[in-house]
Amino acid sequence: MHVALYGGSFDPPHNGHLALCLFAVELLRIDRLIISVSINPFKWRYGAADEQRKQMACLFADELSRVGISAEVSGWELEKKQPSYTVDLIRYVRSVYPLDRLTLLIGEDSFREIRSWKSWETLPSLCDLAVFRRTSQEDHRENPSFPFSSGTVRFIDFDYPLSSTVIRERVAADLPVGDLLPSAIRCYIARHGLYRQG
């Protein structure tokens, strides 16, 4: 079985996350997708609480399930009550799925910072890496500072210019976000009054 891990603060999950997951599952032939909700050390003043972010991630997983994708939400990082390291999360997932192929799905911005990650050199021995990059960006494989040997990372062109920050700002400014979020998450935000400044 091919298992993929997709982590983030999901504050909130949005259509960009959804599009990436749908694309990854089809392109990489993923059998099971694990959505891991991380502790956000840069959590802004109007961010959602940990439990709310986890609940929105569950709604996000339900959205994926509706189109036939096997998705589950992991609260392992939240349960640690402190910022966790990607390598530790991968080792945990590896312990749950010891015999399966594991791929880490990450964005290009995160990949650019990978040398600052704990035990980053060990990642290719624990999982495959799929990096979703903007099509206008350089090809890292031709960069002499590329951190891994050729063939250990798969780059995938994916340009969906949407961020959770933009959505929080639009909600705070009372601007429409209906076309940026799955409807269940939009309703959850409205019902709980998330991201409002008042």
DSSP string, 8-55: E--SS--HHHHHHHHHHHHHHT-SEEEEEEPP-TT--TTPPPHHHHHH
pLDDT band at 39 (very low <50, low <70, confident <90, very high): confident
* 77, 36 contact by CB (below 8 A): yes
Tell me: the pLDDT tens digits for 99-119?
Answer: 999 999 999 888 988 999 999
Asked if residue 157 belongs to a domain, the reply is: yes
pLDDT band at 18 (very low <50, low <70, confident <90, very high): very high
Which residues lie below 8 Å from residue 65, measured CB to CB, with a gap of 6+? Answer: 71
Asked if residue 133 belongs to a domain, the reply is: yes
Asked if residue 71 belongs to a domain, the reply is: yes
Structural domain including 52 reads: 2-163
Tell me: the pLDDT tens digits for 110-146?
Answer: 898 899 999 999 999 999 999 998 765 555 555 545 6
- The CA–CA distances, whole Å, from 194 to 51, 54, 58, 144 equal 13, 14, 17, 44
Which pLDDT does position 136 carry in this prediction? 52
Asked if residue 121 belongs to a domain, the reply is: yes
Tell me: the pLDDT tens digits for 59-115?
Answer: 999 999 999 999 999 999 999 877 789 999 999 999 999 999 999 999 988 898 899
Domain of 55, CATH number, reads: 3.40.50.620
Asked if residue 179 belongs to a domain, the reply is: no
Asked if residue 195 belongs to a domain, the reply is: no
Asked if residue 180 belongs to a domain, the reply is: no
In this structure, what token pair is assigned to residue 186?
Answer: 């939009």
Which pLDDT does position 134 carry in this prediction? 75
* 163, 16 contact by CB (below 8 A): yes
**Nearest residue to 32 (alpha-carbon basis) of 90, 71, 89, 73:** 71
Asked if residue 148 belongs to a domain, the reply is: yes
Count structural domains, the chain. 1
Question: Span 19-27, mean pLDDT?
Answer: 96
Which pLDDT does position 144 carry in this prediction? 46
With tokens 């910022």, the residue in question is 83
Which pLDDT does position 127 carry in this prediction? 95
**Nearest residue to 129 (alpha-carbon basis) of 109, 148, 157:** 148
